[in-house]
Every structure is written in structure tokens, then in C-alpha cells.
Amino acid sequence: MSAGDEVKVAATAATEAAAAAAAGPAADSAKKEGNDFLATLSEMRPGEKIKEGLRWYTHLEEEGTPLRPFIKSARESLNGVVGRVDDFVETGKAHASAAVEGLKPDLSWLGQEVGTIDDFARTHRELTVGASGLAVALPSALGGVRRAALNGMVAAGGAAAMFAMSDFFERQKKKEVAGKAAGEEK
């Protein structure tokens, strides 16, 4: 049984427990006690009604309302479901971590290759911008020459903007580092 099925089963059990608690003897006794109280009030004089109301109130204070068993069972069922969901999430995290750990040796070469490509793109920016425009323009040529030219120029412009922003952020970072170093020397 999968963890998702376990959660569904737990939710169904919680619903059934709540329904059973609502339909159980506590619900019947609550109706009976409520009717008895109203019947006795209609037969009493005003002063006795106050005494009976106070007695009923102290009874509720000591033993609780007729809804207490229902609320207790619903709360316990909900806590059980939440606990199972938490277990399911923790199990999922453990499985995901194990899967990622298993992939790390297989993908270790990828970091080196990406570093090589990044170094090439930073040293030969004009080729990178042109390649970006060409990579978009060629498939766009199926829609016509104008579309290919427009899409290619937009892609090349986006690549150029990306490099400009990259340079801007590098300069900002160098200024911050230099400012911190100057602050430490004082």
C-alpha cells in the first residue's frame, strides 16, 4: 500500500470515527437531557427555574457538554491523520535525498563541462550572442524570413543584455568587497 493510499485510509477512518461518535449514545443522551431540562423548566415556578438553570450550568461545568466526546474523537482522528501525513512527508524527503545522492557520482562531470562552457562564453561574448541569435533564427525561418530575422535579433539582444547585467552585477560585487576591505583596514 502506497503512502498516498495510507493517507486516504486514515482520512476515511477519521470520518467514520467522527460519524460514529456523533450517532453514539452521547448524542442520544444529549437530546434526552436537553428535552428533560426544557420539560422540567416549563413545569417550575420562576425561582425554581433559576435554581435548576444553575444546577444545569454546574453540571455542564463538571461533566462538559454532550459534544465533548464527539469533539475529542474528531481531534484524536485528525491528530492521527496529521501524524501519518508527517510520516509520509519525512519518508518522501528520505527517498528524494537517497535518489539525489545516487545521482551525484553520475553527474559529477556535468559541473566541469558547465564551467568550461561558461568560461568560453565569458571570453568570446560576440560568438555567444551570435550563436544565441542563430539558434533561435534557424527554427524560426520556417515561418518566413522576417520572423526569423526578428526572433534572431530579439534572442541576440537578450543574450547581450544578459552579459551586460552580468558585468554590472560583477562590478557591484567588486565595489562591495572593496568597501568592506577598506572598512576593515581602518
Amino acid at 85: V
pLDDT at 147: 92
pLDDT at 106: 76
Other beta carbons within 10 angstroms of residue 155's beta carbon come to 19
pLDDT at 114: 79
**How is residue 53 written as a grid cell?**
438553570
**To which residue does cell 552579459 refer?**
163
Other beta carbons within 10 angstroms of residue 122's beta carbon come to 13
pLDDT at 27: 47
The residue ranges of every structural domain in the chain are 3-103, 110-185
CA atoms of 174 and 186, how far apart (whole Å):
19
pLDDT under 50: residue ranges of the chain: 26-28, 30-31
pLDDT at 87: 92
- Read off the pTM: 0.37
